[in-house]
A and B are shown apart, each in its own frame.
Chain A
Amino acid sequence: MSALATWDILETSVIGYGKGLNQDSVRTGGTGAATDPVVLAVADGHGSASYPRSDIGARFAAELFAAKGREFGALVRTGRLPWLRDYARYELPEQLVRDWQARVWAHWGRQPGPEGADAPREEVLRLYGSTLVGAVLAPGLFVAWQLGDGDLTVVDPDGRVRLPLAPERAELGDETASLCLPEAWHLVRVHWEPLPEPARAPRLVALSTDGLSKSFASDAGFTEFTSGLYARLASRGLPGIEDDVPRWLEAASRHSGDDTTLALALRAEDGGAGRDGGVAGADPREAWARAPEPARPWGPGAETEAEADPTSDLSDPPSSLSNPGPNLSDPLSERSDPTGGTRNDDEETERP
């Protein structure tokens, strides 16, 4: 594969406004070299009383992806793209989900809750429910995976912002796919992007939990934020914004009421970060100010509301998660049954 520039990485996570526990998790590492691929992972535990262990589930998710992502990055070699693609699309998601569920089950075995160590496995998995967005940047290859909500945002060399893993259809309320669902690997969305020409590789790859995107009134606001973030990174480099990012995320969490986590990798090739100079450095926070209206009102009223119900977490999947997936005794049943699913990217359907 062609040589690829190194990447600078950053991770930040802030607790949701008024919450007592951050149920997001983040892991980052690597430089993008062949021996040290960049691995980014953010996970969002579902929160609320129905998922009391989702902070642990999110941590397991991010940790497992970091390990699997490194393994995957180490497999990248010239001439292996077809095999790697199949591995990325089919094998890794299955391994990831399976390992997460096995780890959760083992954790429950060691530390069972009031339901007891012999509680039904599906119910136990649900207690730890979490989403996951992960990415690997290796020389010549960029791959990302997503299960459930959250965002993968990419900025290209021409400054264009794209969201390669955005679901084709708008999400149904706050329902989301989850690692806790049976055969959840089928629900993993995969972005596959070989990079045969390093100069055309993305400049910025950002992963965030939905606490960030939900803080904007529109998708355009979120895209504008990313664009501004990139401009600022391009002019100041990572060190120039490291102190600012937590404050931006705190502002976001006040809008969304949710834990907010960001992991990003900035390509440091050809002068890269902090050396472009002169790029109009719009403060990303201006995007919030320009947004027509915040997703949730903020100010005294909203704060009171949040305080009154600190568990009111918009990222909570709906109560329908009590039946989190297909009825396993009925494998042909629809997986997007609005009363039983947690889908966010698929059509409602049923086989007649």
Chain B
Amino acid sequence: MSGMLDNGDTLTTGTGETLVVDRLLGQGGQGEVYRVTLPDGSAKALKWYYPESATPQQRRVVEDLVERDFDDERFLWPTAFVDAAPDRFGYLMDVRPDRFRGLPELFRRTVTTSFRELLTACLYTVEAYQALHSRGIAYRDISWGNIFFDPTTGDVLVCDNDNAVVEGDRSGISGTMGFMAPELVRGDPGAMPGTQSDLHSLSVLLFMFLVNHHPFKGARELAIRCLDEHAERRLYGKDPLFIFDPDDPDNRPDPVEHTTARVLWPLVPPSLQKLFTQNFTVGLREPSARVRESQWRDALRAARDAIVECPNCGRPNMTEPGAATPGTCWKDGAPLVLPPRLVVTTPPPRSERHIMLGRAARIHRHHLTAEPTRHDYSDGSLVAELVEHPQKPGRYGLANRSAEAWTGTRSDGTSQRIVPGQTVPLRAGLALELADGARAEVRAR
């Protein structure tokens, strides 16, 4: 191999642990990543910087990140500094589990996923960066190269966290051009990477999750003969134009070259389209107008709850939350039918969640809270789910998967107790008293 380290090389962490290099895993823009073994036999990943990236500034950033000891499973955070010489250093992190896949695989259609998982991944991505920002850390290099997702669950893993710095830190401006906020690409006086610029990068990333295309790559890019750094600065900094800008059609996606974007954009619910449009029009010029994480979170979770399965092929379709007409299936064009919905009202501060009761409907703990700290769609957070009667096919009920009993009140005023494990038949008008003051009501439409 031509990597900087050899298999079998030994290095020492800042805490005195000796690690042995197993093999080169990959090479990136700033350094190489090796699989290494620690004295206890556990495997870790070692990022080892190229000489040109092994600057005192980078050393300071990484040492600071290690000290922060940021314990969050959504991030492959630097856990130990590894030092060999002033210009030869790196850091340890966990090895990325195989279940996490990159966006290029999504674009190649080599992973199996659905809109439900993609919306989940978007929501988790938003919350992951929100967790960083709430700690005063700006990521500074949000891009599709740094985020991985589990196509079966939507879980996300943020990698390459070694450019994250405390908000306001002036450590070298970095980032991937196509994801950098325009003011940073242009190098505007006073513009610094921070939460505001992260919000732009985040929107680009979410757009690529859902539309599988870059929001500024339309007709204008096609007219560029060589997309070099100068051309990129124009496309992303000096003259960015959203491909679906409602007021300026000059950069529309090409009918031949950009078919994926043209087909997927109309499938995105209008409430999300509106946020993208805000971010990629007025938000380009006014950083303070960019969509905040909480706005993304609210719109994404509502869109996820509004997913409807096609009655013909069963594929999940995104629909506009609250819309009376769900449209047609993206796959086979069959008319979609709105199923009954469960309207959950959270304890104060009261807010409503509208969950489509399709075949795969599940209610999770975060549905019962107005401001959940995190959304979690895993089995472990399940509160209720739609199930079919085992002896009476076609009849459905809501199974209590929580640890607390519910009280159900039918439309005729009679009530019943639904203990954990029991199922209450689904009927319009059924009202449920759930845990901790949350209420729910089944509505036919």
| Interface of A toward B, CB cutoff 8 Å | 1, 71, 75, 78-79, 81-87, 89-91, 95, 98, 121, 142, 156-157, 160, 162, 182-183, 186-187, 192-197, 200-202, 326, 328-336, 346-347, 349-352
Q: A85-B29, A193-B27, A351-B114 are in contact. List 20 more A-B contacts (CB 8 A).
A: A71-B228, A75-B229, A78-B52, A82-B28, A142-B2, A160-B1, A183-B260, A196-B51, A196-B52, A328-B259, A328-B263, A331-B212, A331-B260, A332-B109, A332-B264, A332-B330, A335-B108, A347-B111, A349-B110, A352-B316
The A-contacting residues of B in range 99-135, CB under 8 angstroms, are 104, 107-114
| Interface of B toward A, CB cutoff 8 Å | 1-4, 27-30, 50-53, 104, 107-114, 143, 145, 174, 176-178, 212, 222, 226-229, 256-257, 259-260, 263-264, 314-316, 330-331
Question: Closest A-chain residue to B116, C-beta based?
Answer: A352
Given that A84-B29, A86-B145, A335-B110 are known contacts, is A193 also in contact with B331, CB under 8 Å in the complex? no
Whether the pair A98, B222 counts as a contact (CB closer than 8 A) is yes
- The list of the 9 closest CB pairs from A to B, nearest first, reads A82-B29, A346-B110, A335-B109, A85-B29, A331-B263, A328-B259, A186-B108, A331-B260, A200-B2
Q: Which residues of B contact A326 (CB under 8 A)?
A: 109
Whether the pair B52, A79 counts as a contact (CB closer than 8 A) is yes
Determine the distance from Cα of A201 to Cα of B1 in the docked complex, in whole angstroms: 8
Whether the pair A82, B30 counts as a contact (CB closer than 8 A) is yes
Q: Which residues of B contact A160 (CB under 8 A)?
A: 1
Q: Which residues of B contact A202 (CB under 8 A)?
A: 2
Whether the pair B112, A352 counts as a contact (CB closer than 8 A) is yes
Whether the pair B112, A86 counts as a contact (CB closer than 8 A) is no
Q: Which residues of B contact A335 (CB under 8 A)?
A: 108-110
Whether the pair A95, B256 counts as a contact (CB closer than 8 A) is no
Partner of A330, one of B28, B222, B257, B331: B331
Closest Cβ of chain A to B198, distance in Å, is 17
Given that A82-B176, A86-B178, A196-B50 are known contacts, is A331 also in contact with B111, CB under 8 Å in the complex? no
Q: Which residues of A contact B256 (CB under 8 A)?
A: 121
Given that A187-B108, A334-B109, A352-B314 are known contacts, is A86 also in contact with B259, CB under 8 Å in the complex? no
A-B residue pairs in contact (CB < 8 Å), sample of 16: A81-B29, A86-B178, A89-B145, A183-B259, A193-B2, A194-B27, A196-B52, A200-B4, A331-B212, A332-B264, A334-B109, A336-B110, A346-B109, A349-B111, A351-B113, A352-B316
Question: Closest B-chain residue to A2, C-beta based?
Answer: B51
Q: Which residues of B contact A349 (CB under 8 A)?
A: 109-112
Q: Which residues of B contact A334 (CB under 8 A)?
A: 109
Q: Which residues of B contact A351 (CB under 8 A)?
A: 109, 112-114, 315
Closest Cβ of chain B to A263, distance in Å, is 20
Question: Closest B-chain residue to A182, C-beta based?
Answer: B259
Q: Which residues of B contact A157 (CB under 8 A)?
A: 2
Whether the pair A156, B1 counts as a contact (CB closer than 8 A) is yes
Q: Which residues of A contact B107 (CB under 8 A)?
A: 186
Q: Which residues of B contact A90 (CB under 8 A)?
A: 178
Whether the pair A352, B110 counts as a contact (CB closer than 8 A) is no
Question: Closest A-chain residue to B113, C-beta based?
Answer: A351
Whether the pair A71, B113 counts as a contact (CB closer than 8 A) is no
Given that A202-B2, A326-B109, A352-B315 are known contacts, is A71 also in contact with B226, CB under 8 Å in the complex? yes
Q: Which residues of A contact B51 (CB under 8 A)?
A: 196
Determine the distance from Cα of A347 to Cα of B247 in the docked complex, in whole angstroms: 41
Q: Which of B30, B52, B107, B145 has the most CB of A within 10 A?
A: B52
Determine the distance from Cα of A335 to Cα of B212 in the docked complex, in whole angstroms: 14
Q: Which residues of A contact B109 (CB under 8 A)?
A: 326, 332-336, 346, 349, 351
Q: Which residues of A contact B114 (CB under 8 A)?
A: 351-352
Determine the distance from Cα of A23 to Cα of B226 in the docked complex, in whole angstroms: 28
Whether the pair B263, A329 counts as a contact (CB closer than 8 A) is yes
Q: Which residues of B contact A194 (CB under 8 A)?
A: 27, 50
Q: Which residues of B contact A1 (CB under 8 A)?
A: 52
Given that A335-B108, A351-B112 are known contacts, is A82 also in contact with B260, CB under 8 Å in the complex? no
Q: Which residues of A contact B113 (CB under 8 A)?
A: 351
Closest Cβ of chain A to B426, distance in Å, is 24
Closest Cβ of chain B to A216, distance in Å, is 24
Whether the pair A86, B52 counts as a contact (CB closer than 8 A) is no
Determine the distance from Cα of A46 to Cα of B111 in the docked complex, in whole angstroms: 27
Whether the pair A86, B177 counts as a contact (CB closer than 8 A) is yes
Q: Which residues of B contact A85 (CB under 8 A)?
A: 28-29
Q: Which residues of A contact B314 (CB under 8 A)?
A: 352
Whether the pair A347, B315 counts as a contact (CB closer than 8 A) is no
Determine the distance from Cα of A225 to Cα of B104 in the docked complex, in whole angstroms: 34
Closest Cβ of chain A to B328, distance in Å, is 13
Q: Which residues of A contact B331 (CB under 8 A)?
A: 330, 332-333
